[in-house]
Amino acid sequence: MAAGDPMTKRKSESQRRLTRDERRRLALIGIDPARVVDAVCARLVVPVDEVLSGARHDRAVLARHLAAWLLRWRLGFSLSQIGRLLHIDHTSALYGIRRIEHDIETDDGGDYGIDQVICEIWQNVVGSS
């Protein structure tokens, strides 16, 4: 990881970026990217079609951003691939990923921390494979 990378400040297991070998292993067990989107939507109680339609209410935006972050740093998708999957521009995907990274950096670990949400979503994705 590069110096100044927000992930170097936080080393919790739920937020760690996966290595290339770990992403290959996940690909071998068949992690479907649509399952990531479904898990995010289920956790945040947002219909998938709202996330994919470009709805702008808070929960749909957060769901899109979380899905983009997970697809990028857990499954190794490119910004273009994320954009195609979520029906957004690659720059919107980048913005969402940066927004989640900012939330991770500033998370105080309170009752409803982003760490906990990401961990729950990821466990749902991996546990259902």
- pLDDT at residue number 25: 64
Domain 29-127 architecture: Orthogonal Bundle (1.10)
Please tell me the number of Cα atoms within 13 Å of 20 on its side-chain side.
Answer: 1
Q: What is the pLDDT along the chain (129 residues), one digit of tens a residue?
A: 444 444 444 444 444 566 777 666 666 567 888 999 999 999 999 999 999 998 999 999 999 999 999 999 888 889 999 999 999 999 999 999 999 999 988 887 666 688 889 999 999 998 865
Strand, helix or coil at 6?
helix
Please report the pLDDT score of residue 24 as a whole number: 67
Rounded distance, CA 25 to CA 5, Å? 25
Backbone angles phi, psi at 94, to 5 degrees: -60, -45
